[in-house]
A and B are shown apart, each in its own frame.
Chain A
Amino acid sequence: MTRRSGARRVFNLVNLGALVLVVATAAPLYWMVVNSLKGGAELGATPPTPWPSDPTADNYVQAFAGNGFGGYVVNSLVVSVVSTVVVVSLATFAGYALARLPMRGRRPLMIALLMISVFPAIAVVTPLYLVERQLGLLNSHLGLIIPYVAFNLPLAIWIMRNYMLGVPTALEDAATVDGASPTRTVVQVVVPVVRPGILTAAIFTFTATWTEFLMALTFNSQNDYRTIPVGISLFGSSFEVPHGTIFAAAVSATAPIAILVLVFRRSVVSGLASGAVKG
């Protein structure tokens, strides 16, 4: 008898916990979406209205037409997609080498990479700024792609290596016996097998570059090259903070990354679970 009521109590506690978790997580998101659909007067209403009395798409029109948000989206896409492709290509080879080939000094190298991947960006942003200014890379896509590649490679290499350690070597051995060159073996035999690992590394790189702020703020401050985080952070710099426009832009920038992460959530969760992770 006592066991059963104990089990029921735990069951209820679990459901209660889940409910609290859903509300706490979803409420701010709900507030963002709802307020993106409110008109100017209603946004500033006290007490706040729980949902828009007269839903409008004006904020979205204003964000894209009036505030150049579309341009920021293009910049973010260019920088994130190119960085991701380069990172994943380099990390696949490096991860393969670190998982499969005999290398002296592998352990200190892996640890150094991990340290770099979590090093606070503020510590490198000045010298990088000075170097980029000298090379004329400020306010260009390349000026962000290069540091993004460098800062996301360590984690991607960790993910690829950990993934490859879990893959049997039989296929590669067979290819080598058949006389395929090592590089050809990697490209034609290893890559197809480790596709899930590549996907995980790609999602982490894309998310990190899509959300990066400090370097984007300091290196690309000209309107033509601003990425979404920089653009949105500056929306509020005028006298009146245009909350409606900010929320419309915020929803538009959150939706694609949220969909990407939700569709591939197995890869995200396994990437986080593999241990080689930053948030």
Chain B
Amino acid sequence: MRARLGWLYTAPALAVVLAVTIFPILFSVVLSFTRVRVTYGGFRVEELTLDNYVALFQSSEWHYAVLFTFFYTVVTVAIELVLGVLAALVLERLGAARGWLLALLLIPWSMITVISAQLWGFIYNSTYGVATWLLEALFGTAPIILGTPVPAITGMMVADIWKTTPFVTIIVLAGLVMLSREVYESAEIDGANAWTTFWRVTLPQLKSTLAVAVLFRILQAFGVFDLPFVLTTGGPGTATQSLAILGYKTLFQDLHIGPGAAIATSTGVLVIGGCLLFLKAFRAQVGKEDLA
């Protein structure tokens, strides 16, 4: 009786989730194996084929997008992790000001990404952007930030790091606050200095907290879309073209549904694969649920 009730209470939520996520994912996978003709009235599936994947694996644009997305994810998440931990350590030792600083950090985190992208685009503007002006003042010359590949990628990363490091900081801070005081006392008695204490006592205890923060950041960074769409539209050339941008352009600008679905599916497979690998490697616990 109570077991039936459990499913009854869960059913409405599950029905919506299944209908809107699982079904489209499967549909998308099917589309990736078809040749689709788009017509004015709709679209027609013409034949089953592996062509989309053959073309995908041969496409240098796809190769670059995969590499760029991986590179972007690894570098931004690594930097956010280091900065996030440092910021959390600062916040933990801060007295009354902690609440205020925490509040300030929540603003970029809660901002619309499109807005922060417009803001950074203005900061990087080649004629009147404050970053261009600063670089010129410091080094005598400044690159056209968004018009040159390496500075554009760097600029995009800075914008991402600014917006999402607070997320890591807050999670790590919550983990720090919950650490047991006793371990620190015994470390102090053993004569451990601050550096050793951090590496031997603090970090190991934070492992599962860090795993959660990193996992969510990896998944999010891998799907990055809003930021390059507004800041660089994937450019200059294809320098900042993430998998999501490539998929969007293929699907909605070129209306190549089959190839676009193949890009989408490849992104999903890479994400799930990476996610499972990560969980296995770190035996991560998320919330109270053991996932590995």
Identify A124's interface contact among B25, B89, B103, CB under 8 A.
B25
Cβ contacts B91-119/A at 8 Å (1 or 0 each): 10110010001111111111111111111
Among the stretches B16-24, B52-60, B147-155, the one at the interface with A is B16-24
Q: Are A122 and B243 in contact (CB under 8 A)?
A: yes
Chain B residue contacts of A94, Cβ below 8 A: 9-10, 12-14
Q: Is the interface of A mostly helix, strand, loop or mixed?
A: helix
Chain A residue at smallest Cβ distance from B18: A150
Q: Is the interface of B mostly helix, strand, loop or mixed?
A: helix
Among the stretches A51-59, A61-69, A206-214, the one at the interface with B is A206-214
Q: Is B247 an interface residue (CB 8 A)?
A: yes
Chain B residue at smallest Cβ distance from A264: B106
What's the Cα separation between A103 and B9 when bound, in Å?
Answer: 11
What's the Cα separation between A186 and B133 when bound, in Å?
Answer: 60
Cβ contacts A225-250/B at 8 Å (1 or 0 each): 00011101101100000010011001
**Number of A-B contacts defined by CB within 8 Å:** 305
Identify A28's interface contact among B103, B120, B167, CB under 8 A.
B120
Q: Is B123 an interface residue (CB 8 A)?
A: yes
Chain A residue contacts of B271, Cβ below 8 A: 118-120
Q: Are B222 and A278 in contact (CB under 8 A)?
A: no
Chain B residue contacts of A47, Cβ below 8 A: 133
Q: Are B119 and A153 in contact (CB under 8 A)?
A: no
Q: Is A174 an interface residue (CB 8 A)?
A: no
What's the Cα separation between A24 and B123 when bound, in Å?
Answer: 14
- Whole-angstrom distance from the CB of A231 to the nearest CB of chain B? 9
Q: Are A91 and B226 in contact (CB under 8 A)?
A: no
What's the Cα separation between A34 and B171 when bound, in Å?
Answer: 31
Cβ contacts A91-103/B at 8 Å (1 or 0 each): 1011011100111
Chain A residue at smallest Cβ distance from B217: A279
Cβ contacts B188-231/A at 8 Å (1 or 0 each): 00000010000000000000010010001101101101100110
Q: Are A279 and B216 in contact (CB under 8 A)?
A: yes
Cβ contacts A252-279/B at 8 Å (1 or 0 each): 0110011011100100111011111111
Identify A130's interface contact among B43, B89, B225, CB under 8 A.
B43
Chain B interface extent, by class:
35 or more
Chain A residue contacts of B229, Cβ below 8 A: 213, 233
Among A31-58, those with CB < 8 Å from B are 31-32, 35, 43-48
Chain A residue contacts of B113, Cβ below 8 A: 211, 213, 229
Q: Is A18 an interface residue (CB 8 A)?
A: yes
Q: Is A162 an interface residue (CB 8 A)?
A: yes
Given contacts A123-B264, A279-B217, contact A97 B6 (CB under 8 A): yes
Given contacts A31-B123, A269-B170, contact A133 B42 (CB under 8 A): yes
Given contacts A90-B12, A118-B216, contact A14 B166 (CB under 8 A): no
Chain B residue contacts of A107, Cβ below 8 A: 289
Q: Is A147 an interface residue (CB 8 A)?
A: yes
Identify A104's interface contact among B3, B127, B265, CB under 8 A.
B3
Which positions in B face A, CB cutoff 8 Å?
2-3, 5-10, 12-14, 16-17, 19-25, 27-28, 31, 42-43, 86-87, 89-91, 93-94, 97, 101-123, 127-130, 133, 162, 164, 166-167, 170-171, 174-175, 194, 209, 212, 216-217, 219-220, 222-223, 225-226, 229-230, 243-244, 247-248, 251-252, 257, 260-261, 263-265, 267-268, 271-272, 275, 285-289, 291
| Nearest 5 interchain pairs by C-beta | A273-B174, A120-B223, A150-B20, A101-B6, A97-B9
Q: List 13 A-B contacts (CB under 8 A).
A: A31-B119, A31-B130, A44-B127, A46-B133, A102-B2, A110-B289, A125-B248, A228-B112, A250-B118, A258-B110, A260-B110, A265-B106, A273-B170
